[in-house]
Amino acid sequence: MVRMTVLKPLLVLALLASSPGSGAGLGAGSQLREIAAGLGVDSPPAPPATVGKPTSSPWSREAQLRGLPRLADPDATVRFVVLGDIEPGRFWFTRAFPPKKNAFERQLAALQREEPAFVLQLGDTVSRGTDANFAELEEKLERVAYRPFFPVVGNHDRPRTHGHSDKSLFNGMFGDGDFHFDLGGCRFILMDNSNWELTSAQLAWLERALDTPRRKIVAMHIPPSYLRGRFAKPKREPKEASLKVKESVGWFTEGAIELAALMTRYRVDRVYFGHLHTLAYADYGGVRYVISGGGGSPLYRAPGIPGTKTSHYIVVEAGPAGITERIETMRGKSLTFLKP
């Protein structure tokens, strides 16, 4: 796999400063703003066969898709890695929690040895969506990311973490909107619910994307409210989901019930979320859901958040025989989930 590189901000500054008629120059984050200017903000979801509006960033979806392996067998098993939240903590007191500094870089370097086809990152790539933070992220990826890297947008990838907010920096670096791609016998569907919702347009797009005989793997940042309190095999089925919506804190509600119905109707093989800095899973409506938020972010304890507090990544193999998951922790231990 050929390593993808990006120009360092200082080099770009030098080139701009030396060009005729140039101004004071632009930092890496400002370049992303220029790229994003043509994208629009919070644009409607892209049609099923596209990857969103194009961007010239070397970390764009188009560039990363070109780095995927060529699999001759359409039913070939695909090995990929799931990596949760990597933002280092927005406030000083959150950064006091484990793991130690540079946990994301150390995990990203370690998972390269697994030789995955790509890395599926579950959002919150930065602590706050600013020019400086995305420039720093770009430098980290340049140093240690040798495999295609596909993140979903998280609420921290925007200037404001709650409600609707500008996503132009993230979109300029990685691409905007919802998209999917096929590899081997699998379809991978990445959704944007960073506004704490899935709109009716997004749900219609999702249903079209799910209409495939391939194995279906869905990823988005914020988990849905119907999983709250259900981190064991449920005895009761989706009728209670509407009650869970009213109790929800830290989970998305708008479009959640519709998501549950689609996941069950189309027999989705896995649904991955980040957002909660923990490791947990739930079986709901015949579908396995996984929360993986330990990609390097602070492992603070919050009331009502279940699961294991450990920095980790998940090695996934998806093929004709099913899906297997092996969890690798920074402590050097391997874990597995119970079978669905």
Give φ, ψ of 283 to 5 degrees: -110, 120
Q: What is the pLDDT of residues 2-24, one digit of tens each?
A: 344 333 333 333 333 333 333 33
Kindly report the pTM of this predicted structure. 0.76
Of residues 100, 119, 117, 123, the one with CA closest to residue 108: 119
Q: In 3D, which of 293, 298, 294 has the Cα closest to residue 101?
A: 298
Q: How confident is the model at residue 297 (pLDDT cuts 50, 70, 90)?
A: low
Instruction: Please write the tens of the pLDDT for every residue from 234-292.
Output: 233 334 444 443 444 578 889 999 999 999 999 999 999 988 877 888 889 999 999 88
Listed residue (90, 121, 117, 92) closest to 104, CA to CA: 121
Cβ atoms of 120 and 81 closer than 8 Å: yes
Positive/negative CA dihedral, 336, 218, 119, 277 = negative
Tens-digit pLDDT profile for residues 167-198: 889 889 999 889 999 999 999 999 999 898 99
Residue 181 in 3-state DSSP? strand
Q: Name the CATH superfamily, with its identifier, for domain 9-335.
A: Metallo-dependent phosphatases (3.60.21.10)
Cis peptide before 99 (omega within 30 of 0): yes
